[in-house]
Structure 1
Amino acid sequence: MGLQQQVMEKMKEAMKAKDKVALESLRAIKSALLLASTEAGSDGEMSEQAEIQLVQKLVKQRKDSAAIFIEQGRQDLADPELAQIGVIEQFLPEQMSEEEVEKIVVETIASTGAEGMKDMGKVMGIVSKKLAGQADGKTISTIVKIKLM
Structure 2
Amino acid sequence: MSLELTINEAIKTAMRAKDKVALDSLRAVKAQIQLLKTESLGAEVSSDQEIAILQRMIKQRKDSYEQFTAQNRQDLAEVEEAQMKVIENFLPAQLSPEELESEIKRIIAETGAASVKDLGKVMGAASKDLAGKSDGKSISEMAKKLLS
* Aligned position for 1:90: 89
* Aligned position for 2:134: 135
Secondary structure of the residue that 1:38 maps to in structure 2? helix
Between the aligned partners of 2:42 and 2:9, the Cα distance in structure 1 is 24
Unmatched 5+ stretches in structure 1: none
- Scaled by the length of structure 2, the TM-score of the pair is 0.95
Between the aligned partners of 1:48 and 1:126, the Cα distance in structure 2 is 18
Return the offset for 1:111. 2.2
Between the aligned partners of 2:54 and 2:41, the Cα distance in structure 1 is 18
Return the offset for 1:42. 4.2
Unmatched 5+ stretches in structure 2: none
Between the aligned partners of 1:120 and 1:132, the Cα distance in structure 2 is 17
Return the offset for 1:95. 0.7
Structure 1's consecutive aligned runs of 4 or more residues displaced over 2 angstroms after TM superposition are: 41-44
Bigger Cα displacement from structure 2, 5-14 vs 43-52: 43-52
RMSD over aligned Cα atoms:
1.1
Secondary structure of the residue that 1:133 maps to in structure 2? coil
- Scaled by the length of structure 1, the TM-score of the pair is 0.94
Bigger Cα displacement from structure 2, 89-98 vs 111-120: 111-120
Q: Please give the residue correspondences for 1:115-126 in structure 2 after superposition, counting only pairs within 5 Å.
A: 115-126=114-125
Deviations 1:65-117 (A, max 9, x none): 10111122221111100000111011101111011010011111122221222
